[in-house]
Amino acid sequence: MPTPEFLDTALDVAKRAAQAAATVIARHYRAGTDVEIKADQTPVTIADREAEAAIKRVLRETFPEHAYYGEEEGREGDGDFLWLIDPIDGTRSFVRGYPMFSTQIALMHRGELVLGVSSAAEFGEVAWARKGGGAFLADARGERPLKVAATQAFDAQTAISFGNVKTLSRGAGWNALAGLIQRCGRTRGYGDFYHYHLLARGSLDLVVESDVNILDIAALAVIVREAGGSFTDLAGRELSLDTTSVLTGTPALHAQALELGLA
């Protein structure tokens, strides 16, 4: 396990990298940019590519020997440390002109996620955490620590949020999910970074999401866990480079939801 001192340094560098990306993204967000469609039918813009390059420039100044896995340029290098980078998570939002997108930067050490930065600069929030150091959020009200809610049971006060409901509806756990919804007081579909920020600060109790990749959620997983939450895939498995779904929430609700067989 890396030392706390190393992780503090790495977290500071990651936050600077996120700020460098925010500068690039802001310029293109205001001016507009052409959109290309990748082979997987997802959009990409010059802002995605330039932001990823800006992030890597900052990280490599301090960690030239580390490996990198970016949304746009793929995997580069080998070693114990792997940086996971999604320069614009929510490109569809970006190109449609609303600020529900973010930059996600995480560090993995020998397969374990150890720090994360979730920067939604246009939205006005930046969250970050490193293993053993707590989770924090900065917004218009200033900087503050994050802590998940103390919710223990599904009832009329429980708030849950869903992502990628279309693919969830095709899964084997759709009926179980419908039963869970009937037990809750409020359902939302914030999506992307935002419902994880809300969960980490105690404003939501559970998040269920499908059709993701590790670059979308790696940083957010560290943040939620350091805020006291549980974070796995829908089957309860530990996160890996192959993860495609999420079940995360307060420890009590996460455990109860796992028993329902949502996967």
**What confidence tens digit (pLDDT) does each residue in 170-179 have?**
888 899 999 9
SS3 state at 104: strand
Q: Are 129 and 116 in contact (CB under 8 A)?
A: yes
pLDDT of amino acid 44: 72
DSSP secondary structure letter of residue 73: T
User: What percent of the chain shows pLDDT beyond 70?
Assistant: 95
Least confident among 1-5, 75-79, 94-98, 159-163: 94-98
SS3 state at 52: helix
SS3 state at 131: coil
CA angle 15, 17, 139 (to 5 degrees): 40
Mean pLDDT of 52-57: 97
Q: Are 246 and 208 in contact (CB under 8 A)?
A: yes
Do 114 and 84 share a structural domain?
A: yes
Q: What is the DSSP pairing of strand 67-70 with strand 81-89?
A: parallel
Q: Is 197 domain-assigned?
A: yes
Q: Are 187 and 160 in contact (CB under 8 A)?
A: yes
Q: Is 153 domain-assigned?
A: no
Of the candidates 118, 67, 98, the one whose C-alpha atom is nearest the C-alpha of residue 241 is 67
* pLDDT exceeds cutoff 70 at 39: no
- Tokens (6 digits) for 250: 């307060």
Do 137 and 10 share a structural domain?
A: yes
Mean pLDDT of 83-107: 91
Do 99 and 26 share a structural domain?
A: yes
Decide which of 118, 145, 172 is a domain's last residue.
145
Q: Is 253 domain-assigned?
A: yes
How many structural domains does the chain have? 2
Q: What is the pLDDT of residues 221-235, one digit of tens each?
A: 999 999 999 999 999
Do 185 and 132 share a structural domain?
A: no
Q: Are 118 and 223 in contact (CB under 8 A)?
A: yes
Which structural domain range is residue 99 located in?
A: 4-145
pLDDT band at 38 (very low <50, low <70, confident <90, very high): low
Q: Is 152 domain-assigned?
A: no
* pLDDT exceeds cutoff 80 at 158: yes
